[in-house]
Amino acid sequence: MSAITTWWSPQQVAGLGLPQQPQYARRGAFGGQCHHITCTRTGADWWNKGNGRYFCDTCARQINAFCVHQGEPELCELHI
């Protein structure tokens, strides 16, 4: 029995509606997708000092609010 390998072109993969590799590669990077796993916003420009990743404005403010609520210093700071 022989193995059959199917090679998909980038256009065929894009047509499936699946996330592309560059999207994942930019998760948590400056200007890329927010590092929060359930967030799909782009333009992440808030640096998290705790894990070294970038978050969007909304998620970073939620993280900071939680830190303050717990009596801890804010973890995220805006990098422009």
Whether 11 maps to a domain, the answer reads no
Q: Within the chain, where are the H helices?
A: 10-15, 21-25, 57-69
Other CB atoms within 10 Å distance of the CB of residue 27 = 19
Whether 5 maps to a domain, the answer reads no
66-79, pLDDT tens digit by residue?
Answer: 999 999 999 999 99
Rounded CA gap, 50 and 15, in Å?
38
CB 21 within 8 A of CB 36: no
29-60, pLDDT tens digit by residue?
Answer: 999 999 999 999 999 999 999 999 999 999 99
pTM over 0.85: no
Domain count, the chain: 1
Whether 49 maps to a domain, the answer reads yes
Whether 43 maps to a domain, the answer reads yes
Range of the domain at 32: 19-78
Whether 1 maps to a domain, the answer reads no
Positive or negative, the CA dihedral 45, 34, 75, 67 is positive
